[in-house]
């Protein structure tokens, strides 16, 4: 009888120990289930945020594309005529958005065709496209970049007949964006169009700077 009671006590002790372990496991299970629910809710929220950010990014990219296209198109039309337009084609490849720049023209009423800037009417188009793109990026920068626009041979390949139009474009940029334009150029028409013009000459290994006024040099 004593042995049975001893064995029974052992069984009760073992039962209580296992019951305690079971209760701990139940509490742990409840805690993990709660954590799993929180993680699932957080994942759903992050998925929604991801979709929202992708939509916002696509919207911002589209807005930027339209603004850049408009500015470059205005530059091309101001310099070369109203039949030219600038387009940006965007495609997503391997998780990255790639952009292709195209210039379209009807060539005075003919069927409109699209070319890369370097294949459209020679290098002058490339110069104007690059100039307008740089100005567009400058104005779109956040935080805003202050100060003058400094250009080095901005219309190097633009023929003389279109140089006056480049001058008008740069003056329009200066007025619209309230920026001073400082330019280094060998183009006489561009140089003489500035409010102030300076001639830089290299003599005996030294640069000599003289201000030009009314066709003369001081």
Per-residue three-class SS string for 57-79? HHHHHHHHHHHHHHHHHHHHHHH
pLDDT at 216 over 60: no
Rounded CA-CA distance 26/13 in Å is 20
User: Which has more pLDDT, 1 or 42?
Assistant: 42
DSSP 8-state code for residue 94: T
| Domains of the chain, earliest start first | 146-218 (3.40.50.300)
Question: In this predicted structure, what is the pLDDT of residue 214?
Answer: 60
Question: In this predicted structure, what is the pLDDT of residue 119?
Answer: 77
pLDDT at 59 over 60: yes
Question: In this predicted structure, what is the pLDDT of residue 109?
Answer: 62
Question: In this predicted structure, what is the pLDDT of residue 217?
Answer: 47
Check: CB of residue 6 under 8 Å from CB of residue 14: no
Residue 168 banded pLDDT, cuts 50, 70, 90: very high
Residue 89's SS3 state is strand
What average pLDDT does the segment 62-87 reach? Answer: 90
Residue 192 banded pLDDT, cuts 50, 70, 90: confident
Check: CB of residue 179 under 8 Å from CB of residue 173: yes
Helix, strand, coil tally for the chain in percent (to 5): 55, 20, 20
Strongest mean pLDDT among 2-11, 14-23, 72-81, 133-142: 72-81
User: Which has more pLDDT, 178 or 53?
Assistant: 178
Question: In this predicted structure, what is the pLDDT of residue 137?
Answer: 85
Structure tokens at 112: 């409109």
The CA-atom distances, in angstroms, between 140 and each of 37, 177, 206 are: 43, 11, 39
Rounded CA-CA distance 119/110 in Å is 17
What average pLDDT does the segment 75-99 reach? Answer: 85
pLDDT at 57 over 70: yes
Kindly report, residue by residue over 123-162, the tens digit of the pLDDT: 789 999 999 999 988 888 878 888 899 999 988 888 888 9
Would strands 149-152 and 84-93 be described as parallel, antiparallel, or unpaired? Answer: unpaired
pLDDT at 110 over 70: no
What average pLDDT does the segment 110-118 reach? Answer: 79
pTM greater than 0.85 (yes/no)? no
Q: Transcribe 97-164 into DSSP letters.
A: EEEEEEEEE-TTTS--EEE-GGGSSSHHHHHHHHHHHHHHHHHH-SSPPPS-EEEESTTTTS-GGGHH
Nearest to 76 by CA among 100, 103, 101: 103
What average pLDDT does the segment 78-103 reach? Answer: 85
Percent of the chain at pLDDT exceeding 90: 20
Would strands 96-105 and 84-93 be described as parallel, antiparallel, or unpaired? Answer: antiparallel
């Amino acid at each position: 009888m004593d042995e049975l009671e001893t064995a029974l006590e052992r069984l009760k002790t073992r039962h209580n120990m296992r019951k305690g372990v079971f209760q701990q496991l139940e509490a742990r299970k409840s805690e993990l289930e709660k954590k799993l629910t929180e993680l699932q809710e957080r994942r759903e929220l992050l998925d929604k945020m991801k979709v929202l950010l992708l939509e916002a990014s696509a919207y911002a990219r589209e807005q930027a594309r339209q603004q850049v296209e408009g500015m470059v198109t205005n530059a091309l039309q101001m310099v070369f005529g109203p039949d030219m337009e600038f387009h940006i084609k965007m495609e997503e490849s391997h998780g990255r958005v790639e952009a292709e720049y195209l210039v379209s023209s009807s060539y005075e009423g003919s069927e409109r065709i699209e070319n890369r800037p370097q294949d459209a009417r020679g290098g002058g188009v490339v110069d104007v496209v690059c100039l307008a793109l740089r100005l567009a990026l400058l104005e779109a920068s956040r935080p805003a970049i202050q100060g003058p626009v400094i250009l080095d041979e901005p219309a190097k390949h633009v023929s003389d007949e279109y140089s006056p139009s480049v001058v008008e474009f740069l003056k329009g940029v200066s007025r619209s964006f309230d920026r001073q334009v400082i330019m280094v150029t060998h183009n006489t028409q561009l140089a003489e169009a500035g409010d102030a013009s300076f001639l830089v000459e290299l003599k005996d290994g030294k640069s000599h700077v003289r201000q030009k006024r009314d066709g003369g040099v001081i």
